[in-house]
Amino acid sequence: MSPSALLQVQDMRLGLADGTALVDGVSWSLAAGQTLAVVGESGSGKSLSAMALMGLLPPAVRWLGGQAHFEGQALRDLSERDYRQIQGRRIGMIFQEPMTSLNPVMRIGDQLVEVLRCHLPLSARAARDRAVELLASVQIPQPEQRISHYPHQMSGGQRQRVMIAMALACDPALLLADEPTTALDVTVQADILQLLREQQQRRALGVLLITHDLGVVSQVADHVVVMYAGQVMEQGPVAQVLSQPAHPYTQGLLRARPSGKLARSERLHEIAGMVAAPTRERLGCPFAARCASALPQCAREQPPVVRPAPERLAACWLVSQGAAP
Amino acid sequence: MTMNTLPRRLLSSLTFVVGTGLLLAMLVMALLGPWLYPQGPWTVAGAPMTWPGADAALPLGTDALGRDILAGLLHGARVSLLIGAAATAVALCVGIVVGTLTGYFGGWVDDLLMRLTDAVQTVPPFLLAIVVVLIVNPSVASIVGAIALISWPTVARLVRAEFMRLREADFVSACRLMGMRPARIIFVQMLPNAIPPIVVSSSIMVASAILIESGLAFLGLGDPNVISWGTMVGLGRSDLRAGWYLVVIPGLAIMLSVLALNLLGDGLNDALNTRLSP
Amino acid sequence: MTMAAALEAQDLRFAYPGTEGRLAVDGVSLHIAPGQTLGLVGESGCGKSTVARLACGLLAPSQGQVRVSGLDASVRSRAHRLPLARAVQMVFQDPYGSLNPRQRIGAQLAEALRLHGPEGASLAAQVGQWLERVGLQPGVAGRYPHELSGGQRQRVAIARAVAVQPRLLVCDEPVSALDVSVQAQILNLLRDLQASLGLACLFISHDLRVVRYMAERIAVMQHGRIVELADTDRLWSAPEHPYTRQLLASLPPDL
């Protein structure tokens, strides 16, 4: 385990009581001041792995194997009580839907004060002042007045800013963002992503970003982990992975987006088929059935994890043979 | 998960199984009544005020006039369950019709019928039932009618709420766009989706119908020609000191049947409502 | 004789009840010739979904008129119902809400085919043919919507809409709720069907790139109004309105 890692996941396996794995052997690490993006579509297990780190797994899902460490502390068997020390205080979390993450019947200021006083020994007055400061730091105009507004009086973008303020209220070391811009308009997305970047630099935060959008990844992330059906297909520095993807799945994802470079008369590159339901046994590479470059052994044997470049990893038979897919 | 797993889900729910079991026991009692006691519950079978267990031929004892308690219990089961089921059925019919019309059409139809529903609901239900039964003279039919009268507004509101929600659903818009007749949209597309909440609450409605019928019979407003559990409780009231079993036994029967129906409703709720919501 | 426009809307105005007359659509005019695709872009709240519903006749405009293939879209008398259905159909955004959860897939398609399919042909055979046409196995007909994935449900919704063989297909964010790998499949499918059936299309999305790919002309909406309407290539290379420029500038860079 690397000593400087803020958050480290080792061979994480999550699944149901009968042994069906929903997240199957995921490993990555995040250093302070870095942004790691976990990218995947439905069924990839990306959100579930984030929930496991926060201690928020649904009742039916449990750890089947592996471990995770945050600031050196093992997370897997942490009690609820110990988790409460971390949630909000050392790890802040923001979700996709700002309207349902904020209490609609409480004023913004009251919600911020509640988070502050829950974790920090502040008086009501001090907490209120701190709340105003926080709103200002996320660029909400006229924070002194906004503090007594209700969530419905603010736009989606502003509510997300409030969410970010709440997540950062107690100066956490790690920020976990689950699809933070998916529900926002494109013009607002850019602003929110920039805000995240600024906060990260100012506070030397580690940021774990869960998303399905490769465009978002390219804008804010340093490293990316590409997941499919509960397993890691490829990971590495964003610039390298997105410009020269090694794994056929990553390539397919990149090509499937209607980019400005594609002529309108051409067909979009499809990835045929759809995500298979999770099964009890692991049979080879989960992407094999949909992969245009699949080799005979792909469906039978688990692909090895290889290094196409010093900081990159890919789980693929094709890549292991040195052939370009 | 397909529709075929519904029976499996129901059977795996303990509340459903216990509720159904109890209810079946009640039904068996009701069926056994005329067969075991063809002479009916009103005939004198033994010495008055015999305690349960004192006489082997009278397992639950007799009342102040010497009538067999067990005979009364079994015959009473028929009456109570029948009235409960019939009243609920009528309430469902009226309620579904009103709810469908108001939920789908809205506008003045909604306003008119909802004011009518409000009017009925403003009067305390049990009092309204008493008044109706008094006016029309107590009989099984009038009691069924009175209970149905106080129960249909709840059904109407449930159905109306579901229809109002479904009216905005995309699949209903798609049916309108394809040129489907409104009648077909209502009955084939929307109604099957509006039913699940009613299935659950109808079980509860039968339970409260039984309670209301018992209350009416207790007050002496039951059909004088039949005996129900409520009648037995009412008759035993004056002899409570001497023989509390006169009240407790039929009271237990009422309680168990209400419990059975509530458990049944809970079990149905668990099985139905987690599945197919759009 | 020239064929009537697939969609002709003049100066539409619409306010939702209970909003104190605030116009969700404020003077929108659109024209789509047969076989053409018009893209409609804008952010949330701009009124594009309202325009979609006005175009289908699901909502009646407070002012202005919508004509699809010459028919007034908001008139839903018994005589008008079927001809209107053949003039315009819609594919909705949410694949989970656009199918009846309690009816089998085949039965839902059969409803449309019963009303509009050729006389005498077996319903079951037609259902099978349309399922294959949208890339699904005929066996899907016996399943319920909750047994299908989002992409599969959207294919069924598309089959239901195009089985009527409408002259205009309104697509309201048809791929926004789908995974990226599935989006490409559905967009390709829509283009194929459009080409083979000669459908005109009103394609609505918040995603400029998707609209650019699907439409020959694009209308940009903001606050209930169309701020710019131009051929796709011209809009992309030389946008005129500041809002259009802002939208283009906010796009993440091409990868």
ipTM attached to this prediction: 0.92
Mean pLDDT for A75-91 is: 87
Residue that the structure tokens 């709440």 belong to: A166
The domain containing residue A299 runs over which residues?
A: 5-90+172-320
CB-CB contact of A248 with A296 (8 Å):
no
Q: What is the pLDDT of residue C39?
A: 96
Answer whether residue A1 shows pLDDT above 80.
no
Q: What 8-state DSSP symbol labels residue B51? A: P
Question: DSSP per residue over A134-177, as a string?
Answer: HHHHTT-SSHHHHTT--GGGS-HHHHHHHHHHHHHTT--SEEEE
Answer whether residue A76 shows pLDDT above 60.
yes
Nearest chain C residue to A184, by CA:
C44
Task: With CB atoms and an 8 Å threshold, state whether A186 touches C251.
Answer: yes
Q: What is the pLDDT of residue A251?
A: 92
Q: What percent of chain B has pLDDT over 70?
A: 96
> Which CATH number does the domain housing residue A179 bear?
3.40.50.300
Q: What is the pLDDT of residue B5?
A: 66
CB-CB contact of B176 with C58 (8 Å):
yes
Q: What 8-state DSSP symbol labels residue B44? A: B
pLDDT tens track for C130-164:
999 999 999 999 999 999 988 999 999 999 999 99
In a domain, A130, yes or no: no
Q: What 8-state DSSP symbol labels residue B185? A: I
For B66, how many CA atoms within 13 A lie in the half-sphere containing its CB? 6
For the domain spanning C7-100+166-250, the CATH number is 3.40.50.300
> What are the chain B neighbours of C140 within 8 Å (beta carbons)?
none
Q: Total structural domains in chain A?
A: 1
In a domain, A12, yes or no: yes
The torsion angles phi and psi of C232, rounded to 5 degrees, stand at: -55, -50
In a domain, A127, yes or no: no
Give the distance from residue C119's alpha carbon to the nearest chain A alpha carbon, in angstroms. Answer: 34
Mean pLDDT for A2-10 is: 80
In a domain, A103, yes or no: no
Give the distance from residue C247's alpha carbon to the nearest chain B alpha carbon, in angstroms. Answer: 29
Token pair in block for residue C26: 């404020």
pLDDT tens track for A105-121:
999 999 999 989 988 88
Token pair in block for residue C193: 């069907």
Q: What is the pLDDT of residue B274?
A: 58
Burial class from Cβ neighbours inside 10 Å (0-12, 13-18, 19+) for residue B4 reads: exposed
Answer whether residue B3 shows pLDDT above 80.
no
C223 touches chain A (CB under 8 A): no
Mean pLDDT of chain B: 88
Q: Which of C44, C179, C236 sits opposite A212 (nearest CB)?
A: C179
Task: With CB atoms and an 8 Å threshold, state whether A260 touches C254.
Answer: yes
Task: With CB atoms and an 8 Å threshold, state whether A256 touches C188.
Answer: no
pLDDT tens track for C75-106:
878 888 999 999 999 999 999 899 999 999 99
Nearest chain B residue to C116, by CA:
B178
Domain positions in chain C are 7-100+166-250
Mean pLDDT for B10-23 is: 85
Q: What is the pLDDT of residue B186?
A: 93
Q: What is the pLDDT of residue C2?
A: 58
Mean pLDDT for B54-80 is: 87
Task: With CB atoms and an 8 Å threshold, state whether B179 touches C116.
Answer: yes
Residue that the structure tokens 């964003």 belong to: A238
Q: What percent of chain C has pLDDT over 90?
A: 78
Q: What is the pLDDT of residue A43?
A: 85
Q: What is the pLDDT of residue A322?
A: 77
Mean pLDDT for B244-259 is: 92
Higher pLDDT, C196 or C251: C196
Token pair in block for residue A9: 């996941």
What structural domains does chain B harbor?
Answer: 5-38+64-273 (1.10.3720.10)
Mean pLDDT for B208-227 is: 91
